[in-house]
Structure 1
Amino acid sequence: MRTDFLKVEGLEKRYGDSVVFDHVNFGIAQGEFVCIIGHSGCGKTTILNVLAGLEAASGGHVFMDGREVAGPSLDRGVVFQGHALMPWLSVRRNIAFAVRSKWPAWSAAQVDEHVQKYVELVGLGAAIDKKPQALSGGMKQRVGIARAFAIQPRMLLLDEPFGALDALTRGTIQDELLRICAETHQSVFMITHDVDEAILLADRILLMSNGPQARVAEIVKNTMPRDRQRATLHHEPQYYRIRNHLVDFLVARSKDLSHGRAPAVPLEVSPGLDPEPPAAPLPTIPPLRRIA
């Protein structure tokens, strides 16, 4: 039985008479990686901001380790869509600023040793004294990830951090994120629009119905092995079944749910465990004959 480290109960957000989302309920276990997917306007970023304590909900509660979230805290690290680095500070000093906020009594040597550890973790040791304008977009996002990990948060919140990157850079940072999370047993809540990214990274995937009045319509359990690799993901026998389920939801079911046309399904589903149809026999190919 899973014990939830973070628990969301009856979360609701209103702007005047407009209901962005309501009756949002889910939990995240310690060390679990959860992605949330849904169309623009369903309130994904607002949910993340509520979890971070950056925005107040109109109703409902968020509990982390049994305590209600009532504001920002260094127990929760956030990586935004933009890198959000201070342009006048080097990589070293950008991360050191966060580290000193978490451990104000540390000496300069302790802070610097800690900073170097996390800069090396994201593969930026050679750029530690460069300022953001001297870095590529992918390198800036790595600094943002290093800064979030450096404060050793109990929960990491990622708001589409790779959305603006090219496919090659995005893939490299996804691999780095998987490796770091495996090493640190980090709990993660991540927003993404990329179905393949969710399948690669997440243990469970939350599917939001369309707004207004959106809600978590399904929670899909990723039944593929946890040590999955990006390069071989499409060879996994369960990959296409899970992917098709997610795409079908985004293309059709999310809209039908918002109009009350879709049939009810269990909130948590495991599409990868459905029995496979029997494979059709392969055609027999006659042997090649040598022509004189």
Structure 2
Amino acid sequence: MSNEAVKALDARPYLQVEALGKRYPGADESVFEHVNFQIRRGEFVCIIGHSGCGKTTILNALAGLEHASEGHVFMDGREVSAPGLERGVVFQGHALMPWLTVRQNIAFAVRSKWPGWSRQQVREQVERYVQLVGLGQAIDKKPSQLSGGMKQRVGIARAFAIEPKMLLLDEPFGALDALTRGTIQDELLRICAQTQQTVFMITHDVDEAILLADKILLMSNGPRARIAEIVVNTLPRSRTRAGLHHDPLYYPLRNHLVDFLVDRAKDLSHGRAPAQPPEVHPGLLAA
């Protein structure tokens, strides 16, 4: 493949969401409508919005776990219509099988992806990703012997171990204490930097979105929610939790996100604003 062809492949959207909407049977209004966005290969995208705006339903549609009422989701040029191992999902609950050890939980996923692999291949793949999340000493423990943060690390290791083309995260750190949450955020940043992983993540935490995301999608309140703004994070990609608040771009960006959630999200809800493409703002110029 020529260099020009490779550049063209990298430039096209890896994930394309077109006019997505969801209305449940018997409901008077849609949960969300006219949802459009793109994600490029290797991009980390966070979506923020108040409860009830349909964030998890959108993620489930990307995962193929739920069908939207209207619109389409395309990944790598193919329409998403069912679950697939090219998409790894991590939920807020760890969803580990309690009767299996860490090793066995991850091995189950690896064998599902590569049923023809030998025991040695499975073992090496499992151990690689267990080490990557810093759980080498706990590899033969069962979930009941692990802390909440350790269980979430196992869930992340399991998702990465199947080497998905895209990782979908539904508030995976929401139930964790601040210290554990920060530690796992650092692990996730490190792993994504190593693997160039494409990520779509739901969060309610503005600071988490600023730390992790290349792009932040802001949803208006439901019903009839929509993506009102797409904010490009212009802070350097090498950002760290410790240094984030020292960056002069941090507070203008944070204030813009908080202002949207506190005031503008409700002003754009219930069909008060006409359906239109979301505004795209480069970082602190968003105001």
Q: TM-score, normalised by structure 1?
A: 0.91
Deviations 1:61-114 (A, max 9, x none): 000010000100000000000000000000000000000000000011110111
How far apart, CA to CA, are the structure 1 residues paired with 2:262 and 2:150?
33
Aligned partner of residue 10 in structure 1, secondary structure: strand
Equivalent position SS for 2:17: strand
1:3 to 12, 18, 22: 12
Query: Which residue is 1:18 aligned to?
Result: 29
Could you say which residue in structure 2 is the equivalent of 1:269? 281
Q: Percent identity?
A: 77
Q: Structure 1 runs of 4+ off > 3 angstroms?
A: 259-266
Please name the residue that 1:130 is paired with: 141
Given that 1:75 and 1:155 are in contact with CA atoms closer than 8 Å, whether structure 2 keeps it comes out as yes
Asked if the contact 2:29/2:223 (under 8 Å) is kept, the reply is: yes
Q: CA deviation at 1:274?
A: 7.0
Given the alignment, which residue of 114, 118, 122 partners 1:111? 122
Residue 64 of structure 2 aligns with which residue?
Answer: 53
1:24, 1:80 → 2: CA distance? 22
Give 3-state SS (helix, strand or coil) of 2:140's partner.
coil
Given that 1:12 and 1:57 are in contact with CA atoms closer than 8 Å, whether structure 2 keeps it comes out as: yes
Give the Cα separation in 2 of the matches to 1:262 and 1:244. 22
Please state how far the C-alpha of 1:273 moved relative to its aligned partner. 4.2
Q: Deviations over 1:163-216 (max 9, x none)?
A: 000000000000000000000000000000000000000000000000000000
Aligned to 2:269: 258
Map residues 214-225 of structure 1 onto 2, 5 A cutoff: 214-225=225-236
CA contact (8 A) 1:208 1:217 kept: yes
Quote the residue 1:213 is aligned against. Answer: 224
30-39 or 264-273, larger mean C-alpha shift: 264-273
Query: Any conservation in 1 of the 2:253–2:286 contact (CA below 8 Å)?
Result: no
Change (3 A) 1:97 1:274: closer
How many angstroms apart in 1 are the aligned matches of 2:272 and 2:83?
39
Q: CA deviation at 1:261?
A: 5.9
Letter in structure 1 aligned against 2:255 = N
Aligned partners of 1:31 and 1:181: how far apart in 2?
Answer: 8
Rounded Cα–Cα distance in structure 1 between residues aligned with 2:182 and 2:235: 19
Is contact 1:32–1:203 with CA below 8 Å preserved after alignment? yes
Please list every run of 5 or more consecutive structure 2 residues that lacks an aligned counterpart in the other structure: 1-7
Count of matched residue pairs:
275
| 1:4 match: secondary structure | coil
- Residue 284 of structure 1 corresponds to none
1:3 Cα deviation after fit = 2.1
Please name the residue that 2:178 is paired with.
Answer: 167
Larger radius of gyration: 1
Q: Does 1:82 align with 2:79?
A: no
Structure 2 SS opposite 1:19: coil
* SS at structure 1 position matched to 2:53: coil
Contact kept, 8 Å, 1:224 with 1:272, in 2: the verdict is no
AA at the equivalent of 2:92 = Q
- Normalized against structure 2, the TM-score is what? 0.93
Match of 2:247 in 1: 236
Q: Is the 8 A contact 1:253 1:262 kept in 2?
A: no
Q: Are 1:182 and 2:193 counterparts?
A: yes
**Separation of aligned partners in 1, 2:139 and 2:124:** 12
What is the rounded CA distance, in whole Å, between the counterparts of 1:265 and 1:28 in structure 2?
A: 15
RMSD of aligned Cα (Å)? 1.7
